Every structure is written in C-alpha cells, then in structure tokens.
Amino acid sequence: MKRILLLLALFATFHLPLRAQFVHYGAQVGGGVSFVTDDLLTSSPIFAVGVGGYADYMFTEWKNPWSENIYLRTGLNINRRGTNFSQDLTHMESMRRGYYHNWYAQIPVIAGFRWEIPTLPAGNFINVFIGPSFNVGLFGRRWDRQVTMKMPQESFNYDTYITGTKDDRASFKHIRRLDASVIFGVGYQWHNITVDIYMDHGFVPLMKRADVLAPYDVAQGKTEETMTEQEIKDRNAYTGTNQAFLIAIGYQLPINR
C-alpha cells in the first residue's frame, strides 16, 4: 500500500507539462499530532509542528480547460516529528519509557487541484493535494529509561539523562537522519487566507533492528519465493516510521508579473 501511494504521488507530481510560471507565494504554520508506528513499542503522540514558505506554479499555457486549476508547489518547511514510547515486560518485571523529539528540514513537491466554489462569493476556493517530500534531520532530543527489578545489569537499568552521555540524548545518533514521506490533504482558501488539513506519511524505518525470528525461519526453510536466505537474515524488525496529522493556517499572495 505504501509503495502504491508513493508511486501515485510521483505520477501526479511529474506527469504534468513543464511549461509553467510562478503565480503565488505564501507561508504556513501548523500544529497537530505526531507518532511512530512500531509493533514492539507502545507509542503515543507528541505535539507536531510545521512552519515554512512555498511558491506555486500554475500551468496557464497548457491547452486544457483545467489549466488554471492545477498547480505545483514546492518550498521549505521546518517540522517537529517524534513519539512517546513505552514497553512493559511483566515476566521480567521491567518497565521502559521514553520519547523522541526530532526536527527536520523538509522539501515537498506537491501537485494540487484548486477549484473556486461557484455557490459562494468570489475568492472562496477548495483544493486537494498530494506529493512526495524529502526530509533531513537537523537536531533532536531522546529520552530512554528502563528499570528492571531483578536484573542489575546496566543494559537493563539506565536513564539517558542520568547515566547516559551527550550522544545518548541526541536523537540522530540513534535513528536515521534521512526520511521520505508522502503528503496528502485538503484545504480551503478565503481570499489570501488558507486552512489545510493534511497527513504526512513516512516510509523509511527510523532505525535498524535485527529480526530475532530470522534464524528460525531460515532453519525451518521458511523462505519466501521472492526472498533469499540472506534477505531474510537482513530483515529489519523495526517498522517504526514517522506519521503526522496537522492543521495549518497560512497567508498567500500573488506574484506580480
């Protein structure tokens, strides 16, 4: 499903005529929730932030009745992403808690469809949009604490803000710095004011963890037809990817030509 969404976003973005011109520029600020999906850790959201500027291209020279409705948008955003996580191992009497608060620079390439509402006065628009984005981690904070009652080893009893080093508290010392995602959503515009609701769906697992079941699957001959034994050994047990839902308010101005 993720691959299909990404392919659709790339198709919608790049399968358009190249003859275009700048028509609008603007800025947005938004907030919402961000979390990381993973099968091994229970996660809960943190507050997501998105702020940035953009420029719109429109295909005014395209000989098509929808030429003034389709636009291409790119810009630069600064985003806050991350998650709270927890893990309770009752048989070990162990409890783990923590969070990731990460800041990214994001370059989106969005294809959108903008439509003026005919039943309302001039200057009322709705739009839908989709497209890929490329994200680079700037900085972040990590907290990871585990307490295990009957096991005194440091690997089961630690706190990155007490027993850890500076690197233990730096997010991007432990997770991947590069990420790719797809953005899709809907928006409303009243004259120069915009309101967008969108999802930022990440594709890249944030870290690499060995799959403990891989040796068992190889020993039992449970290789899939499309996978070699080495590919099964290299499976990533961590499935966590960035996810965010945001509401953004912005201000847009035309570019004078």
DSSP 141-180: EEEEEEEETT---GGGSEETTTT--TGGGBGGGTS-SEEE
214 or 126, greater pLDDT: 126
What average pLDDT does the chain have? 84
- Which residues does 171 contact at the CB level (< 8 Å), separation at least 6? 82, 100, 101, 102, 137, 139, 140, 141, 142
pLDDT of 224 reads 54
135 or 21, greater pLDDT: 135
126 class by beta-carbon count within 10 Å (0-12 exposed, 13-18 middle, 19+ buried): middle
Mean per-residue pLDDT, 140-167: 90
Mean per-residue pLDDT, 20-26: 82
User: pLDDT tens for residues 204-257?
Assistant: 989 876 655 555 555 555 555 556 655 665 666 677 899 999 999 999 998 876
- Which residues does 211 contact at the CB level (< 8 Å), separation at least 6? 232, 235, 236, 237
Of 43, 202, 190, which Cα lies nearest the Cα of 124? Answer: 190
- pTM of this prediction exceeds 0.75: yes
H/E stretch holding 10:
helix 2-14
Question: What percentage of the chain reaches a pLDDT higher than 90?
Answer: 56
The DSSP 8-state label assigned to residue 236 in this structure reads B
208 or 135, greater pLDDT: 135
